[in-house]
Amino acid sequence: MELKDNQAALILEVDEDGGVSVNVASGDPDGPAGAICQAIAVKLMQDEDFQAEIMNMIEVDDGDQEA
């Protein structure tokens, strides 16, 4: 997928041990979309409370989720 200058994406990779790496792809790394993705990536990797919040969101049992 080729990104436009006003687009950016987080690329998450989970290894066999459950470790997560975060990369940012952007058509313009210095533009607003790239900067936002970079800020989210930094927060995801450095903010333990944010990490716990994300993990709690994905650990919800399927039966407990509402459509």
Tokens of 40: 């989210």
Q: Is 29 left (phi over 0), alpha (psi -120 to 50) or beta?
A: alpha
Helix (H/G/I), strand (E/B), else coil: 7: coil
Each domain of the chain, given as residue ranges in start order, spans: 8-61
9-45, pLDDT tens digit by residue?
A: 999 998 898 788 999 999 998 999 999 999 999 999 9
pTM of the model: 0.73
Of the given ranges (4-8, 18-22, 50-54, 62-66), which has the lowest mean pLDDT? Answer: 62-66
Instruction: Please give the pLDDT value at position 31.
Output: 94
Among candidate residues 57, 49, 34, the one with its CA nearest the CA of residue 23? 34
Beta-carbon contacts of 19 under 8 Å, excluding residues fewer than 6 positions away, are: none
